[in-house]
Amino acid sequence: MGQRAAIYCRVSTGDQSCDRQERDLRAFAERGGYEVMGVFKETASGSKDLRAQRGKVVALARDRHIQVVLVTELTRWGRSTTDLLHSLRELEACGVSVIAQTGLQFDLTSPQGKLFASLMAALAEFERDLLRERVKSGIAAARERGVQFGRQPGQRVKAERYTARVLRLRAGGRSYREIARELNLSKNTVMDIVKRASPAAPGEDEAA
């Protein structure tokens, strides 16, 4: 048999099927003389970070169980330009290349692969620059509209989130320590919430 290969198929939504990709790649593997070690199918959008099946393919590469990964097209394997370049380099370290159904082999040790990696790196940097510019523009526009970013002076985000529950439990006769234990807060936080809600409230139970 020829090189050991893993077939990787991906669709973006649950109403799609990997069947066509698998069928085409099995035929491609047979024509190319590849020994298919496994077929890995996944439903995940292009932006989704977690891909369990792709992780299994990478694990096979690390363990030297495969020599190539077969995909219908590179967009099935990479989430973005940066992710694609990173994953190709990770596979390269394992001696594994990605081969698209068109027959293009993305082996970063070859002259073609090195040129491809250089172009991908430039595109990845371009993508990062665009993202940074969009973020800066978005923040500037939001500030012009009066939006404030970050925690504001005097703001107690955690305390405000628990105020209603703390006061309800306190009204029911629960001690500060019991409330803190139930809500996984410090006793001082509970006391501070009660004090701010009722500044004149006595501290008879502060040691409880």
Tens-place pLDDT, residues 35-85 = 999 999 998 865 555 788 999 999 999 999 999 999 998 888 887 777 888
Tally the domains of the chain: 2
* Residue 87: closest CA among 111, 110, 59: 59
Q: Could you give the CA distance from residue 158 to residue 117 in angstroms, rounded to a whole number?
A: 46
pLDDT band at 10 (very low <50, low <70, confident <90, very high): very high
Q: Could you give the CA distance from residue 33 to residue 66 in angstroms, rounded to a whole number?
A: 14
Domain span at 20: 4-113
Does position 202 have pLDDT exceeding 50, yes or no? no
Q: Could you give the CA distance from residue 63 to residue 59 in angstroms, rounded to a whole number?
A: 6
Number of other CB atoms surrounding residue 33 within 10 Å: 10
Rounded to an integer, the average pLDDT of 155-164 is 68
- % helix / strand / coil in the chain, to the nearest 5? 55, 15, 35
What is the C-alpha end-to-end distance of the chain, expressed in Å? 75
Q: How many CA atoms lie within 13 A of 70 on its CB side?
A: 29
Domain boundary among 98, 113, 128: 113
Distances in Å between the alpha carbon of 27 and those of 5, 37, 67, 113?
A: 13, 14, 18, 25
Q: Which residues pair with 98 in a beta bridge?
A: 69, 106
Tracing tokens 């809600």 back to the chain, one arrives at 197
Co-location of 36 and 107 in the same domain: yes
Note whether residue 92 is domain-resident. yes
Does position 153 have pLDDT exceeding 70, yes or no? no
Question: Who wins on pLDDT, 121 or 151?
Answer: 121
Note whether residue 145 is domain-resident. no
Residues near 2 by beta carbon (within 8 Å), at least 6 away in sequence: 32, 33, 34, 35
Note whether residue 202 is domain-resident. no
Supply the pLDDT for residue 63.
94
Co-location of 22 and 105 in the same domain: yes
Tracing tokens 């299994």 back to the chain, one arrives at 56
Co-location of 80 and 16 in the same domain: yes
Q: What are the backbone dihedrals phi and psi of residue 50, each rounded to the nearest 5 degrees, phi first?
A: -90, 120
Average of per-residue pLDDT values in the chain? 80
Amino acid symbol at 187: K
Does position 26 have pLDDT exceeding 90, yes or no? yes
Give the active site residues: 12
Note whether residue 66 is domain-resident. yes
Question: Who wins on pLDDT, 42 or 118?
Answer: 42
Co-location of 103 and 14 in the same domain: yes
Residues near 107 by beta carbon (within 8 Å), at least 6 away in sequence: 92, 97, 113
Asked which of 24-33, 63-72, 152-161 is least confident by mean pLDDT, the reply is 152-161
Handedness of CA 95, 100, 101, 102 (dihedral sign): negative
Domain boundary among 56, 87, 113: 113
Note whether residue 68 is domain-resident. yes
